[in-house]
Amino acid sequence: MLLDRNGGFRPDSWRHLADDEAPADGEAVTISFKRWQAEPERWSDRTRPLGLRLSNDVPPAAFGPAATRFALIVLNFPRFIDGRAYSQARLLRGRFGFKGELRAGGNVLRDQLMFMARCGFDSFEVDAERARAENWPQAFREFEQFYQPAADRRETILRQRLRSWQTAAE
């Protein structure tokens, strides 16, 4: 089940192809980065919504330039303490202009959701039963303001202060 950044649950409509599986015509599928790299021409016919699954050790220079080709990118958290995909997400959004759906897979837990959402993730692969029981959607709303600029483009506390000082000075 997927949890959205707005707090809603929905089923996953994508099929995640193993490297030796073939897609049906027009079907929305994700493929691994390895498969994309091996045969980019096969997947560039644009006859289907295409998604990419990226492991967290792929350097930005390798995946960044092709990012806009995909409608969905799934980043992976093998363990919740492994935070490499946060940087991948920031770069996809901030540098490589990725506007599609950015999804977090793997060891996704409640208390990381806020960080992930701020880094640009839209959806999260979760255990829906647990997520509902523990009210995970609330995790997106625990803080109103933040200090750092991030992919959510919220105005930072610093910028808000600056604005209020300037207003006061006028």
How far, CA to CA in Å, does 22 sit from each of 17, 50, 91?
7, 13, 30
38 vs 157 by CB, closer to another protein? 157
CB of 154 to another protein, least distance (A): 10
Query: Which H, E and C letters describe 93-125, residue by residue?
Result: HHCCCCCCEEEEEECCCHHHHHHHHHCCCCEEE
Given a contact cutoff of 8 angstroms between Cβ atoms, the answer to whether 75 and 105 are in contact is: yes
CB of 14 to another protein, least distance (A): 25
49 vs 83 by CB, closer to another protein? 83
Per CB under 8 A, residues contacting another protein are 59-60, 80-84, 86-88, 90, 94-95, 109, 111-112, 114-116, 118-119, 133-134, 142-150, 156-158, 160-162, 165-166
CB of 37 to another protein, least distance (A): 19
Question: Based on C-alpha coordinates, what's the Rg of the chain?
Answer: 18
